[in-house]
Structures are given as C-alpha cells and as structure tokens.
Amino acid sequence: MVFESNLLCKIIGFSHLISNQLYKSKYLTIFKRLGNHSVIALIALIVIGGATRVMEAGLACPDWPLCYGSFLPLNHMNLRVFLEWFHRLDAFLVGILILFKFTLSIIWKNEIPNWLPKTYSLLLFLVIVQGSFGALTVINLLDSYTVTGHLLIAFLLLITTISINQNLENDEIEEPLIWWKLLLFVPLLLTLIQSFIGVRLSSTWSAHICLSFNKQCLILNTHKLFAFPITFSILLIIAAATYKRSLLTENWKYISTLIFLLFSQIVLGVLSLKTNLNEPIFIIAHQLNASLFIATLTTLIFRNPLRKKSLNHSLNSQMVGINS
Ligand code: HEM
C-alpha cells in the first residue's frame, strides 16, 4: 500500500514536471522562433550593407535617420537611394525585433531562464551602438574606422543572437567539451580579425589603389596571407573531429558547411581580384559568405557537441529516477 502511494506520488510529480516543462517550453519556442528570424534579418542586413558600400550608395541619403527628410523618399528614388534607404529600414526592423524580444523577456521573466533578459539587454545595447555607428558613417562621410566598427558590431550582433538561440536549444542537457569549443573559437577570432582587415581594405580603397597603381598593397597582401592561418585552424578542427569520431558523426553537417564556405570565400576573393573589383556580385557574395562562415562557426561553438548521447543520458537518468 505504501509502495503504491509512493509510486502514485512519483507519477503525479513527474507529470506535473512534464506539464510545467511544456508550459515553459511554449515561451522558449516563441523566443527560438524570434531568434531564427533575427539571424536571417541580420545576415540580410549585412549583405545589403555590403551592396550599399559596393554600389557607393553609403551617402545616397544625405541626412539621418530620415532620407531626404522623408520616411519614404519617392521623389529621389534610384538604385543607390533605394539600397541605403532599404538598409536603414531593415536595421530599424532588426532594432524593433530585438526590442520586442527584450520586452517579452521582461514580461515573462518568471517563466524563462534568468540569463535570457540579461542577454537580450546586451543585444539591445549592441543594436543602439550599431545604430549610432550607422549615423556616424554618414556624419563622418564614410570614415574607414567607423565603417569597420559598423561591420564588426554587426558580426557581434550575429554571434550573440546565434549563441542565445543555441543556448535555448541546449536546454540543460549539455555535455560541454570545453577543449572543442576553444578549438572552434580560434577560427572565429581569426575570421573576425580577417574581416577587420577586409573592411579596412575596402573602406580605404586600398585594394583598388593596389591593383591600379601597385601602391598601398600591404593591407591586401596581409588579407590574402591571413587566409592561411584560418585554413590551418579549420584543418585542425577536421583532424580533431576525425580523431574523436562521435564529434564528426554529430557535427558533420556543420563541419562540411565550414569547409565549403572557406573554399568559396577564397574563390570569391580571388575572383574579385581577377575581375579588378569590377563585378559587385563577387564582392557582395564575399561579404555574405563571410557572415555565413561566422554564423556556422558560432553555431558549432554554442551547440551541444554530442547532443544525442547526452539526450539519451538525460532520458536514462529520468527513467532511473522513476524506477527507483
Ligand atoms: C578566408 C577568409 C576571408 C574572410 C573571412 C574575408 C572577409 C572579408 C571581408 C569581411 C571583407 C570586407 C567586405 C566589404 O567591405 O565589402 C573582405 C574584403 C576583401 N577581400 Fe576578403 N576575406 C577572406 C579571404 C580573402 C581572400 C583569400 C582574398 C583574395 C585572394 C580576399 C580578397 C578580398 C578583397 C579584394 C576585398 C576588398 C573588396 C573591396 O575593396 O571592395 N579575401 N574580405
């Protein structure tokens, strides 16, 4: 009799736990969906930003935050004005999306992990800094350091958003494998440095000057050479994953995407130079590819590296709890 009532209590407790979890996971699912939309909007924003720069449309709207004093400058619309205007509109939407997530996280703070509102406040801070950098690029007439800061903060926003998404997915069943995460952090850091050099290259027109007059070639040569340590760090990751087989089995989709993106990034860089930087499509694709490379690396760093094993482990321990 005692045994039966004990079992009943455990079953009730367990079903309570499950319904509570399902209730909470409803909120988390909303944040996950909003997070996925934010990643797509951010990558689109980075690409449109690249297109705006390549088409030399950065100053197509002479004022800020409006364009020709209007929210929709139909009287001045051409391709350049459209790019700069659309870039601002997308940035505005991303800002609203982040503000919305932050507000929801404050309203539902009792139902969600307490790291979430804090991380959204960081995201909100970054988006405000990013907006200010956007304004400064116009005010400072596309000053190279401002443009560089603008792209780097865009990448930081992307990294933070993806890390939040992955942490929401992980849901306490993580098996950390710190050495693997540190190993992945190396190419991420190198890629951010490479992107810094890349934007300096484009925003100071050094690549054009080097190709036309064979002057100021230091930045271009550094950028080309820096592809080697990045390639080397990716080779190390492949070697480590091959050595610890389960890592390769669980993460092969991401690792093969990384290899593909690295290869295409180098090919696009070479093509941009071979066409004397006259084909905007290669330069825009080079920027899109860089953001996808950063997004894939970040996902690999923050996802649960051995998801299935730890999920089974967690289910097993739940079952052991019930059985005992
Ligand atoms: C391997 C990793 C690489 C990454 C992550 C990377 C990233 C970047 C980024 C973020 C930019 C700035 C884009 C812009 O402002 O429009 C850039 C510019 C550039 N990159 Fe790369 N790059 C890589 C490799 C290469 C290679 C191997 C080459 C050539 C052999 C190359 C050639 C260029 C050129 C020429 C520009 C300047 C384009 C312009 O002036 O408009 N990149 N890169």
| Span 84-138, pLDDT tens digits | 899 889 899 999 999 999 999 999 998 888 899 999 999 999 999 998 988 888 7
Rounded to two decimals, what is the model's pTM? Answer: 0.87
Q: Is the peptide bond before 280 cis (omega within 30 degrees of 0)?
A: no
Please check whether residues 201 and 260 belong to one and the same domain.
Answer: yes
33 in Cβ contact with 168 (< 8 Å): no
Q: Is the CB of 273 under 6 A from ligand 1?
A: yes
Has residue 22 been placed in a domain? no
Token output for 175: 């098996």
Q: Of 146, 171, 196, which residue sits at a domain end?
A: 171
Please check whether residues 67 and 95 belong to one and the same domain.
Answer: yes
Has residue 15 been placed in a domain? no
Most confident of 200-204, 290-294, 307-311: 290-294
Name the β-bridge partners of 70: 67
How far is ligand 1, taken at its centre, from the CA of residue 198, in Å? 5
Please check whether residues 140 and 237 belong to one and the same domain.
Answer: no
Please check whether residues 179 and 167 belong to one and the same domain.
Answer: no
Helices (H) and strands (E) in the chain, counts: 11, 0
Return the axis-axis angle of helices 2-54 and 79-107, rounded to nearest 10°. Answer: 160
Has residue 8 been placed in a domain? no
Q: Is the CB of 270 under 6 A from ligand 1?
A: yes
Name the β-bridge partners of 67: 70
Token output for 288: 């899109």
The total number of structural domains that make up the chain: 2
Please check whether residues 225 and 148 belong to one and the same domain.
Answer: no
Please check whether residues 156 and 232 belong to one and the same domain.
Answer: no
Please check whether residues 46 and 116 belong to one and the same domain.
Answer: yes
pLDDT tens digits, 244-294: 999 999 999 999 999 999 999 999 999 999 999 999 999 999 999 999 999
DSSP category for residue 34: H
Has residue 109 been placed in a domain? yes
Q: Is the CB of 200 under 6 A from ligand 1?
A: no
Please check whether residues 323 and 177 belong to one and the same domain.
Answer: yes
pLDDT at 316 over 50: no
Question: Which residue CA neighbors atom 18 of ligand 1 most closely?
Answer: 198
For a ligand 1 pocket test, name from 202, 274, 284 the mutation site with the most ligand atoms within 8 angstroms of its C-beta: 202
Q: Of 171, 191, 207, which residue sits at a domain end?
A: 171
With a pLDDT cut of 90, the percent of the chain lying above it is 63
Q: Is the CB of 286 under 6 A from ligand 1?
A: yes
Contacts of 39 (CB under 8 A, 6+ apart): 158, 161, 162, 165, 295
Has residue 19 been placed in a domain? no
Token output for 150: 């603008």
Please check whether residues 132 and 236 belong to one and the same domain.
Answer: no
Please check whether residues 190 and 313 belong to one and the same domain.
Answer: yes
Residue range of the domain that includes 113:
27-171
Q: Of 104, 137, 171, which residue sits at a domain end?
A: 171
Token output for 174: 């993580």
Please check whether residues 40 and 111 belong to one and the same domain.
Answer: yes
Please check whether residues 221 and 315 belong to one and the same domain.
Answer: yes
Burial (CB count <10 Å: 0-12, 13-18, 19+), residue 226? middle
Has residue 44 been placed in a domain? yes
Spatial CA neighbour of 205 closest among 193, 215, 196: 215
How far is ligand 1, taken at its centre, from the CA of residue 199, in Å? 8
Q: Is the CB of 50 under 6 A from ligand 1?
A: yes
Has residue 252 been placed in a domain? yes
